[in-house]
Amino acid sequence: MKIAMVSEHASPLSPPWAHNGGGQVVQVAELASALASGGHDVTVYTRRDSPDLPDTLVDSQGYRIEHVEAGPAEYIPRDDVLPHLAEFGRHLGAAITENRPDIVHAHYWLSGMVSLAAAQDRRIPVVQTFHGLGGPKRRILRGNDTSPPGRIRMEQVIARSVSHVIATTTEQLGDLIRLGVPRRRVTVVPCGVDTARFNPTGPAAGDGRVPRVVSVGRFGESKGFDVLIQALRRVPDAELVVGGGGDSDGEADIAEQKRLTDIADRCGVGHRLSMIGPVARTEMPGLLRSASVVASLPAYEPFGMVPLEAMACGVPVVASAVGGHLDTVVDGVTGVLVPPGRPDLTGTVLKELLGDPVQLDAYGVAGADRARSRYSWERVAGATIRLYGDVLGVPRPAAAEAIG
């Protein structure tokens, strides 16, 4: 099958913790790789954000990346890309006319806009993955939501216009139905994890002398690092390692790091906090394996890549009971779910868990098994390609595997 993926702001070449990165970068790169490994012809269309990038390159995993001219060839914040979408759409339309795909898979709502504009007149079906939705984001983040004002209405238009929508979580499925999308036109296909890279058997980065809590992600007041630092007051002797950041010019990261270190000092735990900055993908497995527990406590999280990667490494997870965490983390089996914004409760949970090595081991074993059996990229790619086939009217084999 010939597949065009559109990821206008999140290039698969970007580090996940970079300014416009995040889980979408990983999902697009890994899904494209898995589909290409399965024999499919995959091209990812993304905006050129550097003059040094070639027009086209072939990734080592076998899929192509097309850099689309749309605005200046420099970093533009994701929420400021909107004025350049018409130019992106013209280039995308010309590209898919010349190299016509069987299906277009749009990632994020901005990609959905340009994909529909380019593909509908050419009668090419569009499948949409939103990653995050504007309505829940605005409801939870309120004044901290920087999305353009028309986002929610446009997501509704996109969701009702594309051939099919992929929800990455059960919670998102409900949000899409509330947008008015018929249930039959939405399928839940989760993000995946590279179980060859993230597994329990590789080296760990720490020395294991004291209990270690690890948390990794992009910085921001909604990410829950402040909650975790306050929770550390109830976890004597444990160290907290925070990795993340990746703002385009570093100023926001510096300000957030100062805010967090000030909180730690006021809580009397500054000497037990290490902030190590952005973490390269090659270093992530070792860092996660070094943890006694991996904590992820955002107030808003469309999916949540780090808890799943920690589970794949056989590490227990304490996560906020939001978004994708509700699907990936099985409370009391692979870790513990806690309400967001509750540092005292979170600290109590961490203290009890770190004091119970048998429970830690049990959660770690169950997490690795769950990640391997349900979230491998081969499994996710298989579910995705079957969905593409359904959209195109290709009959499924009688023994086609379901994914849940």
d(CA 331, CA 319): 9
Coil, helix or strand at residue 142: helix
| Positions of E strands within 31-110 | 41-47, 56-58, 64-68, 103-107
Mind listing the pLDDT tens digit for each residue in 247-300?
445 677 788 889 999 999 999 999 999 999 888 889 999 999 999 999 999 998
Element (H, E) at 275: strand 273-277
pLDDT of residue 28: 95
pLDDT, residue 192, reads 96
| Alpha-helical regions (H) of 14-150 | 23-37, 85-98, 109-119, 134-141
User: 39, exposed or middle or buried, with CB in 10 Å at 0-12, 13-18, 19+?
Assistant: exposed
- Residue ranges in the chain whose pLDDT is less than 50: 247-248, 399, 401-404
Pairwise CA distance, residues 102 & 118, whole Å: 14
What is the structure's pLDDT at 21? 61
What domains, with CATH codes, occur in the chain? 2-192+376-392 (3.40.50.2000), 212-374 (3.40.50.2000)
Given a contact cutoff of 8 angstroms between Cβ atoms, the answer to whether 158 and 315 are in contact is no
In terms of Cβ atoms closer than 10 Å to its own Cβ (0-12, 13-18, 19+), residue 402 is exposed
pTM for the model: 0.91
Instruction: Pick the closest to residue 9 from 159, 147, 154, 119 (CA basis).
Output: 147
